[in-house]
Structure 1
Amino acid sequence: MTKTLPPEVVRSLVLYLKDDKKFLHSCLFVSRDWCREAVYLLWKQSFHFLYTCNKTNLSVSSQSTNLDLELTNDCNCSKEKRQSQAANLLMTYFSIKYYDELIKEGIIDTKSRNTLFNYLKFLNVLSLHELYVAIKDWIHWDKFDNKIQLLNFLNSKFNLNSIDILDKYTPLIFSSIFRYFFAYSSELELLSFDTKFILHKINNNNPCSFLKYHKILMNEFNELNFPETKQCFVNLTELVLTTDERKNEIFSLLSRTCHNIQKMSVRVNFHFFSGCGFAIRRENDVALEEAKQLTSLIRSQHNLIYFELFGTYQVGMSEILKSLKETQHDSLKTLIFNSVTVDHISYFLFQLEDFQNLQDLRFIKCIYYEEMDGIDERRNNYGEDLWLPNLKFLQVDCLDDYQDDFDKLSFILLRCSPLINEID
């Protein structure tokens, strides 16, 4: 008789391959212990696995940057298969709370089986982009005839207006579904709105070719300020918001409802205009307001360990740095500036002075806004009070036009970091 592995060993093995969808599916048929561990992991990030393929040839365009990952791949998924899977996944979630009512309304038939578990309790990772694409796939699936009836049923649950047709992607098509997940997903730990595919570049080598960039209506998320959202966000420990769209409202909402974020990757975007001074001033004001809402979110956290800032122009940069220094200097260990504009180097170095526990500092494809003429004569005075005793990793990578300026910044940071001898 074959000996079975202890549950703790099974758990360790399954966790080691937690991002391998094919492996997790095979675990379902091994034994009860293997099945239990696999079920939890598959439903922990169900929409992520929906758009992860077992066999994908992935290539990254040579013109793409770490901000804009261009996915060109060939997977084995058919359009019908992906749409069917999206529909089945969403209907499974809806049945958890409304199974009897959906049967009574004739939206699902009596042959449909109720779910074995409350899979909403398993959902720890929610990508709003993946959820959005899943809804679109479900809408396009032509073998479910009660879409409008189901959407109006959900709209009635959240006091939203009814719809008559599905010919346009209006907020009413998506709002009730988003509200459903925000109201009942009380165990969320990671929330992302990641249209730049940052997370997929990190932990998904096999993204489905059906997961494409969609310009999402930000209003669908900005209008989610209702009482039930508080229980959804209270356990968040990781936040990824890399979309270009304005995020004022969602930053404001999160700052009031979640306070235990440890890892934050965000973007404050500045839209450039040429010619019109009024438009430039208005864009400055809008970007500054978004940065202020981000600083409120930063200040509301109790233990921020990792902070990565994407694509931010100088507008609002000083406020963001100030909020990190004043509220997160003891906890912050990783600080990454990705394609941001660095200006006023003396002020920037001044803000770093209190980060005594910082271990990882990176500048990736950054630019310098202000001329640094004369810094050679003054650089011994720059950061004279700066000392980063625990810094172990330093990366200074900039666009070619700014190499000399960042070489000088590198010199200053190396001088203040006793644990490192060179820059990666």
Structure 2
Amino acid sequence: MSCQLPADCLNEIFEYLSDKKTLHSLLFVNRFSCKVSVRILWENIWKNIWINRINCKQNLRVTSSILSTLVACLPNESKEFLFKKEIFISAPTSKSPLFNYPSFCKVLSIDNICLTINNGLKETPITSLSLKDRNFLVINEIIKMFIIQISSLKKLTFNDYAYLITPNEISTYFSEAIDYLSDLSELHCSLSVPSEFFYHLSKKCHNLHSLTIDMNYKYTENSKFPDELKELISLQNNLKDIKLSAYYEENWTEITQTLTKHSNTLTKLHLNCYCINNLSVSFIASFLNLQEIKFSSGSPIFIERIQFRDFEKLKDVTFPKLQYLSIPYSCTKPEYIIKFLENNGKNLKKFYVKEVNYSLNLSIAKFCPNLKKLSIMCNIELDTLKIIFNSCQYLKNIKIWCGTYWLKEKEILETIAKHSPKNFCKLKIYNCSNSELLLEDLESFFINWNNRELLTLIIINKYSCISLEENEENMKIIEKYKNLGIIKKFEIKNYY
């Protein structure tokens, strides 16, 4: 006798299937499985575009496919309008769509709608309209359709520096979308977006958990932070996660007072600067409930400059709940970071550091005994690495650079095998030179790893270096120890 699980139960199971291939296979089981899989795949259809941006040909196929499906879902009046404007976009089939795909979306990305249409219309026949005008008209109809069809939106991204929608149209669209914006939990925007956009969001959107702001005054006529966005931030009830990115001459001083209103709820703070010196970060001292602090920089590496001028004021502040810390190169003086670790290192579970300093490396072992994940950029000595392993007995995961001027692959593998804690299970190597690892070195490492936790080994080759995978015998050894149950996962990536 066959047993059919309840629909609600199957829905829950499918929600946990993050593997796209599995979800695609479920499309062909029955109509119920197909509908649930389609709904999950279309909740954030835009991530498929980001995945394929590196592969231009594949990205063009993906965006063209998404565009033709969206056009097939347009209401008849929109189709007729585009037809009259001589904009002809072929549908996937001659039949009506099986589902109302836009209604499944929980993530609306204005940026990726523009990207999809820009790419998708490149192959359409030329008409009397310019490509820009065609893009403009199609973008408008697609966005209007989403706003009408989406019942509850979770994430909204509007960060396009060259948006093709006028402020008046933005005002109209989002004034009509007030109801479904009440569930919005994540917003990614830039200051190039018209202030009307923030005004309409503030009317109903009070439950943001995550907010990302690109402070790109360069792309807007405004020279100050919009009051409408300040109002939107002030009205949030439970803001937990903030990311601010400043470029060139911009900074976040205008917004820090507004942010301090959320000092009790904020748990994650990410400050990113690009080509700027001496940005202020002392305001972070107001957020004592932070669990994650991430500083990042787009400035060229190994250029002597201090990006965060007043980090010194944070060195004596204690964040009792801090578990994650990320420090880029030239963030501040190493002695200030060491003092910060002395006050906050005990509770750290994850630490990413790109500073080149012997004393700082030693301070990790001294002040961060409970680390589970560590990323060290370069220039670490073998003895220091051993000390870290001996002191950080909960360490499970490490990322480390190797290459001609730093530690060699063989040295890293030998040290990991002999000195890493018993629960250590993941090694990520950033290889900055051609691999010099010999076959016997690789096999010796795996033999020594026997009776340990299953190992995940990821090698990232920077600057088009020749990897160990170029040697076929190396790959045979890796496959052998996969089959023996010593390697859980092995992966080689290229990083440019």
TM-score under structure 1 length normalisation: 0.64
Give the 3 Å change call, closer, same or farther, for CA 126–388 of structure 1 in structure 2. Answer: same
Give the 3 Å change call, closer, same or farther, for CA 98–10 of structure 1 in structure 2. Answer: same
Give the 3 Å change call, closer, same or farther, for CA 21–221 of structure 1 in structure 2. Answer: farther
Task: Specify which of 233, 247, 267 is matched with residue 214 of structure 2.
Answer: 267
Question: What residue number does 1:391 align with?
Answer: 322
Task: Specify which of 159, 178, 181 is matched with residue 233 of structure 1.
Answer: 181
Which residues in structure 2 correspond to 1:326-345 (within 5 Å)?
A: 326=261, 328-339=262-273, 343=278
Q: What secondary structure does 1:72 align onto?
A: coil
Ranges of 4+ aligned residues in structure 1 off by more than 6 Å: 99-102, 104-109
Higher relative contact order (CA 8 A, sep 6+): 1
Contact 1:218 1:247 in 2 (8 A): no
Question: What residue number does 2:343 align with?
Answer: 415
Distance 2:56 2:255 in 1: 40
Which residues in structure 2 correspond to 1:240-319 (within 5 Å)?
A: 240-241=188-189, 245=192, 248-271=195-218, 286-290=222-226, 292-312=227-247, 315-319=250-254
Contact 1:29 1:35 in 2 (8 A): yes
Q: What secondary structure does 2:211 align onto?
A: strand
Give the 3 Å change call, closer, same or farther, for CA 228–183 of structure 1 in structure 2. Answer: farther
Q: Structure 1 stretches of 5 or more lacking a match?
A: 57-70, 149-164, 196-214, 273-282
Distance 1:5 1:324 in 2: 47
Larger Rg: 2
Task: Specify which of 91, 106, 116 is matched with residue 71 of structure 2.
Answer: 91
Distance 1:120 1:76 in 2: 22
Contact 2:71 2:142 in 1 (8 A): no
Which residues in structure 2 correspond to 1:13-412 (within 5 Å)?
A: 13-18=13-18, 20-49=19-48, 51=49, 72-73=54-55, 76=58, 81-82=61-62, 85-95=65-75, 113-142=95-124, 165-170=128-133, 171-172=136-137, 174-193=139-158, 216-217=162-163, 219-220=165-166, 223-226=169-172, 227-241=175-189, 245=192, 248-271=195-218, 286-290=222-226, 292-312=227-247, 315-326=250-261, 328-339=262-273, 343=278, 348-349=281-282, 351-365=283-297, 368=306, 382=313, 386-398=317-329, 402-405=330-333, 407-408=335-336, 411-412=339-340
Q: What secondary structure does 2:69 align onto?
A: helix
Contact 1:120 1:185 in 2 (8 A): yes
Contact 1:314 1:343 in 2 (8 A): no
Cα offset, 1:331, TM superposition? 1.4
Distance 2:182 2:218 in 1: 32
Q: Structure 2 stretches of 5 or more lacking a match?
A: 299-304, 349-366, 369-373, 376-496
Distance 1:88 1:412 in 2: 54
Q: What secondary structure does 1:289 align onto?
A: coil
Question: What residue number does 1:278 align with?
Answer: none
Q: What secondary structure does 1:46 align onto?
A: coil
**One-letter amino acid of the structure 2 residue matched with residue 40 of structure 1:** R
Q: In the comparison of the two structures, how many residue pairs are matched?
A: 337
Contact 2:78 2:141 in 1 (8 A): no
Distance 1:309 1:83 in 2: 29
1:323-373 CA-partner distances (Å, limit 9, x unpaired)? 1112x112111101122657575xx43x3344232100111127746867x
**One-letter amino acid of the structure 2 residue matched with residue 365 of structure 1:** S
For the aligned residue pairs, the C-alpha RMSD in angstroms reads 4.3
1:68-90 CA-partner distances (Å, limit 9, x unpaired)? xxx5336557x5x5575244312
Distance 1:73 1:258 in 2: 36
**One-letter amino acid of the structure 2 residue matched with residue 405 of structure 1:** K
Q: What secondary structure does 1:169 align onto?
A: helix
Contact 2:316 2:343 in 1 (8 A): no
Question: What residue number does 2:428 align with?
Answer: none
Contact 1:314 1:342 in 2 (8 A): no
Distance 2:241 2:179 in 1: 23
Distance 2:167 2:286 in 1: 35
Distance 1:271 1:139 in 2: 29
Cα offset, 1:265, TM superposition? 1.6
Cα offset, 1:30, TM superposition? 1.7
Distance 2:143 2:29 in 1: 35
Distance 1:240 1:370 in 2: 24
Give the 3 Å change call, closer, same or farther, for CA 28–184 of structure 1 in structure 2. Answer: closer
Q: What secondary structure does 1:391 align onto?
A: coil
1:233-262 CA-partner distances (Å, limit 9, x unpaired)? 2321111225x8455443344334421111
Cα offset, 1:395, TM superposition? 1.5
TM-score under structure 2 length normalisation: 0.56
Contact 1:353 1:386 in 2 (8 A): yes
Give the 3 Å change call, closer, same or farther, for CA 32–48 of structure 1 in structure 2. Answer: same
Give the 3 Å change call, closer, same or farther, for CA 229–271 of structure 1 in structure 2. Answer: same
Distance 1:315 1:289 in 2: 10
Distance 1:34 1:230 in 2: 32
Give the 3 Å change call, closer, same or farther, for CA 93–302 of structure 1 in structure 2. Answer: farther
Cα offset, 1:8, TM superposition? 5.9
Contact 1:269 1:312 in 2 (8 A): yes
Q: Alignment identity in percent?
A: 24
